[in-house]
């Protein structure tokens, strides 16, 4: 089965097998967002446990 190329560019698997992703809502309309919110959106986070299996199947990890 082919891997999903779009998903491969968006997700990375960590050493412990968790899936890392970037947060959304940081590209435009930034003036109304607080500095704290924008700073938090710049940090990567983990995919939820429920979605991890689905994402791993997409990226063939």
CATH architecture of the domain with residue range 5-59: Irregular (4.10)
Predicted confidence at residue 53, as pLDDT, reads 96
Strand partners, 19: 13
Q: Given strand 19-21, what is the order of strands in its sheet?
A: 11-13, 19-21, 45-46
pLDDT tens for 3-60 read: 999 999 999 999 999 999 999 999 999 999 999 999 999 999 999 999 999 999 999 9
Predicted confidence at residue 1, as pLDDT, reads 84
Q: What confidence tier does 61 reach under pLDDT thresholds 50, 70, 90?
A: low
Single pTM value for the model: 0.84
Domain boundaries, the chain: 5-59
């Amino acid at each position: 089965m082919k891997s999903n190329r779009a998903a491969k560019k968006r997700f990375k698997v960590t050493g412990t097998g968790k899936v890392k992703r970037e947060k959304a809502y940081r590209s435009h309309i930034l003036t109304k967002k607080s500095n704290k919110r924008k700073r938090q959106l710049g940090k990567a986070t983990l995919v939820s446990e429920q979605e991890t299996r689905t994402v791993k199947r997409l990226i063939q990890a």
